[in-house]
Amino acid sequence: MNKTSNFICITDSLDLYNAVYSNVTLQYLNFKEGQSTYGGVVSINMTLPAPVSLNLIGVTAISNLAAYGGVVGIVAAYTTDTVITLKDSTFKLNYASYGSAFYSVFDSSLVISNCIFESNNAQSYGTIYTIYANVSMDTVSFITNTAQDSIVYIKKAPTLVYLNAITFTGNFHYSNQYGLISIYDSSAIIYNSNFKSNQQGSAIQISTSLGSLEIHNSTFDSNVNANNGGALLISGGASVRIYGSVFTNNFAINNGGAIYNSGGYTFIIQNCNFTGNSVTNNTSGGAVYIYSLGGNASIENSTFNSNSNSPIYCSDSTIYMDNLNTTSQEILTCSHPYECTLTGNSSIGLCHDTSSHEEPHHSSGNSDIGKYVGIAFGCVGGIVLVAILIIVIRRRNRNRYQQF
């Protein structure tokens, strides 16, 4: 189907007493070159809180254009019973200012499974752009999409965002302050996903004062950020747990070759492998950069091999480190030895100071005690030596007077 406007508009009757449930299924159809302000293929404009179900199954949408939502755009919706399901479909070469495939800033639910999003372009935010929407994705591929900011933008999701078996390969967004997936004021859990050879920003960014992020059994390989955090960028008080995941050959021009965490809350890394991650020579945290956490960090049962600089950088944070393996001469450095509190069996002998101080300082405080004890002994020894000299001088003078 080719059209110079969008193909379908779902709306209501404007009659409060006759608001009805709308259920639309589009199956095994090809949509090409639709154009509209909202939704190059389908727009939803509900003025009443009436439920809507839109299902795109086995659909191919190519080269559709809109300002908001290159394929599906929601103009208005007033109930989370507005459910959009994208299944077994391909979305390619679609364009929008916001959401080159999907756009919604209203209460809604987006469910995506077994879909491919390829070479879509957003002038501003995202192949997927949502605010106030529940989001669930299972077995979805994002390939060579571009955007000014994020590829998937999620903000203020009312329930846990669920992402399973998601693949991001060769995507590019121009702003290095965002992630391929940007999560704001929401909580998310990611399973069994793969992020490879994406450029300019982090693979995942989360910024939230109340939300959390969990990543399980996922792989981050050869992602590049022109700023901080080649694979993961954390800020704004988010609590993050990463389990059983692999970070290889990620790069950040500034800090945190794999992970940059500045101002997060709790931060847990368990059973992970960090290999070949890097930053430029004059920056910090070849694998992990931790700064000013509101809570505690824990890094356990993990391996750090062939990362540039020292693998872990700490500033103004508390870290528990246990059962860590590394090929590096030192696994962790600090901005200043007094600024990090380290515990656990892998923290012995740390932290090495990267400031202008001449000697490394251990977080246990034992070197301070030794320093003060040495000063005390020096003072006492000096007093004793002066007393001996005085006694000797007096005796010599006394002998001289006796001779006369």
User: How many other C-beta atoms lie within 10 A of the C-beta of residue 327?
Assistant: 12
Token pair, residue 34, equals 């639709």
Do residue 248 and residue 319 come from a single domain?
yes
Q: Is residue 165 part of a domain?
A: no
Q: Is residue 375 part of a domain?
A: yes
What is the rounded CA–CA span in Å between residue 290 and residue 295?
Answer: 11
Do residue 130 and residue 200 come from a single domain?
no
Residue 386, Cα to own-chain centre: how many angstroms?
Answer: 64
Do residue 394 and residue 286 come from a single domain?
no
Q: Is residue 249 part of a domain?
A: yes
Q: What is the pLDDT of residues 169-195, one digit of tens each?
A: 999 988 777 889 999 999 999 999 999
The per-residue pLDDT for 381 is: 57
Do residue 11 and residue 69 come from a single domain?
yes
Place of tokens 């939230």: 208
Angle (CA) 288 289 293, round 5°: 120
Do residue 320 and residue 199 come from a single domain?
yes
User: How many other C-beta atoms lie within 10 A of the C-beta of residue 226?
Assistant: 16
Distances (CA, A) of 193 to 36, 143, 165: 34, 14, 5
Report yes or no: 320 and 298 within 8 Å, Cβ to Cβ: yes
Looking at 99, 128, 159, the residue that finishes a domain is 159
Once rounded to an integer, what is the mean pLDDT over residues 197-211? 89
Do residue 360 and residue 375 come from a single domain?
no
Q: Is residue 170 part of a domain?
A: no
What is the rounded CA–CA span in Å between residue 60 and residue 96?
Answer: 17
Q: What is the band of 404 on the pLDDT scale with cuts at 50, 70, 90?
A: very low
What is the rounded CA–CA span in Å between residue 99 and residue 105?
Answer: 11
Do residue 219 and residue 321 come from a single domain?
yes
Do residue 312 and residue 384 come from a single domain?
no
Do residue 391 and residue 275 come from a single domain?
no
The per-residue pLDDT for 345 is: 87
Q: Is residue 60 part of a domain?
A: yes
Do residue 146 and residue 254 come from a single domain?
no
Q: What is the band of 81 on the pLDDT scale with cuts at 50, 70, 90?
A: confident
Q: What is the pLDDT of residues 17-44, one digit of tens each?
A: 566 778 999 999 999 999 999 999 999 9
Do residue 35 and residue 106 come from a single domain?
yes
Q: Is residue 31 part of a domain?
A: yes
The per-residue pLDDT for 373 is: 43
Average pLDDT along the chain? 86
Structurally, the chain folds into a number of domains equal to 3
User: How many other C-beta atoms lie within 10 A of the C-beta of residue 392?
Assistant: 10
What is the rounded CA–CA span in Å between residue 341 and residue 361?
Answer: 12
CATH of the domain at 203: 2.160.20
The per-residue pLDDT for 394 is: 57
| Residue 7 pLDDT > 80 | yes
Do residue 237 and residue 277 come from a single domain?
yes
Q: Identify the domain containing residue 384 by its residue range.
A: 369-404
